[in-house]
Amino acid sequence: MAHFGLAAAYEAKGEYQSAIGALRQIVDGENSFLKEEALFSLGRLYALSGQPEKSREAFKDFVDEFKDSPLLPLARAHLKE
């Protein structure tokens, strides 16, 4: 949860790369707690930071991994952009 909180704080300050780094800790970690939310947020932050290819990759990974997520329609919508 600390990494997720750090990511939110960095995003609020416009420090997208630092926020991405905090979220990568969650996504790449062995613990699956908050991974769903972190991967979705990662896709969003990549888009905000001007990295559309990485954003698309993150959303594709999200769609492939979290087929029952309530965020699935939003992730699919991002892929259509």
Q: Tell me which residue of 54, 56, 59, 52 sits closest to 38, measured CA to CA.
A: 59
Mean pLDDT of the 63-80 span: 95
Contact criterion met (CB below 8 Å) for 78 and 62: no
User: Domain range holding 62?
Assistant: 2-80
Number of domains in the chain: 1
Pinpoint the alpha helices (H) of the chain. 2-12, 16-28, 35-48, 52-65, 72-80
Q: What is the CATH number of the domain that holds 43?
A: 1.25.40.10
Per-residue pLDDT at 5: 93
Per-residue pLDDT at 30: 87
Q: How many of the other CB atoms lie within 10 Å of CB of 77? A: 10
pTM, 2 dp: 0.92
pLDDT in tens, 3-61: 999 999 999 999 999 999 999 999 998 888 899 999 999 999 999 999 999 999 999 99
Q: Which residue has the higher pLDDT, 32 or 80?
A: 80
